[in-house]
A and B are shown apart, each in its own frame.
Chain A
Amino acid sequence: MQYLKFLILGLLLGIVMTKAEIISWFRIYEMFRFESFHMYGVIGTAIILGIILMQFTLKKQIRDITGKPIIIHSKNMSISRYLIGGIIFGLGWALSGACPGPMFILLGTGYSSVLLVILGAILGTFVYGIMRNKLPH
């Protein structure tokens, strides 16, 4: 039962991403051509609302469900890691039209061929795990 809330949140996320066409390859292509506000609106709204929610939470020192105070874990600073990793991710995102959430949601909409994208993504993660000590971070 402790996992039911995550199933419901996932269900909601899948419905929203499908209904707002965020899972569409065409919407990603359109975004990278700067020919529609749609995707920028989705991401922008989420970030602005996210900033407001987080700042309010920190100010009011709201605790999570387990009683621990909610804090922001700062990420380690680096340029190469985020920039190079980000560029590689972006190349794959624009070509497949799917980031790691939508590739699963698309399975639900009936595209079995996205299994190949998922397989590639698992393989890419695996190869990173093996190579990571040789890469600049």
Chain B
Amino acid sequence: MDFLFEPWPWYMAGTFIAIIMFSLIYFGENFGLSNNLRTICSAIGGGKYSDFFKIDWKKQKWNLILIIGTIIGGFLASTFLNNQQPIQLNPKTISSLQDLGFQEPGKHYLPHELFNISSHFSFKKLFILIMSGFFVGFGARYAGGCTSGHAISGLSHLQVPSLIAVIGFFIGGLIMTHIFIPIIF
């Protein structure tokens, strides 16, 4: 049972994700997690401001339940299946992060330099966290999907638009990682 506590290998994760995607299709739905953001906008009254949110959001209830499941899954895995070992990152990744001033890269899931705002508050962190989320939400809806909808489902369905979107994800990601992150931190 030791393997449960070790980090799980990529082929296991990829296999599970494909099975989950296929199960959703079998249940008559689709794998697309960013749709939840639109559902939330619609549920809190976004329809008053844009027809884009005038949807029968209750039809997306299954997706909100799915996301609640993932939150519980994250809690269970990090609480009961955690061996407290740092993430085995490439030493080159670690040294590049240390050069940018990040302490202990890989010790936690997230860098505390950005995500620990309770003990080390700054408006810069607050701004970065909200803005990065804003780009994710805006971009996902503009492109009509995110990693689950385009990269996993779309490419599995051999959709050219999804390939274009994934190329876009990488252009944006590479610009952020190689140009902006060294400037921001």
Contact = CB atoms under 8 A, between A and B. Distances in A.
Interface string A104-132: 11111111111011111111111111101
B89 A30 contact: yes
A107 to B, nearest CB: 5
B69 A100 contact: no
Contacts of A135: 142
Contact of B70 (A13, A89, A126): A13
Contact of A10 (B73, B106, B148, B150): B73
Contacts of B72: 7, 10-11, 14, 108
A6 B133 contact: no
B156 to A, nearest CB: 3
B136 A124 contact: yes
Contacts of B133: 92, 96, 103, 116-124
A108 B157 CA distance: 31
Give the bracket for the number of chain B residues in contact with chain A: 35 or more
Interface string B1-44: 00010011111111111111111111111000110111011000
A65 B13 contact: no
**Dominant SS at the A interface?**
helix
A105 B53 CA distance: 25
B107 to A, nearest CB: 9
Contacts of A35: 89-90, 92-93
B114 to A, nearest CB: 7
B18 A105 contact: no
Nearest to A118: B133
A111 B81 contact: no
A12 B16 contact: yes
Contact of B130 (A39, A47, A53, A120): A120
B93 A29 contact: yes
Contacts of B160: 77
A98 B50 contact: no
Nearest to A96: B132
B59 to A, nearest CB: 12
Given A82-B144, A87-B168, A90-B173, A5 B78 contact: no
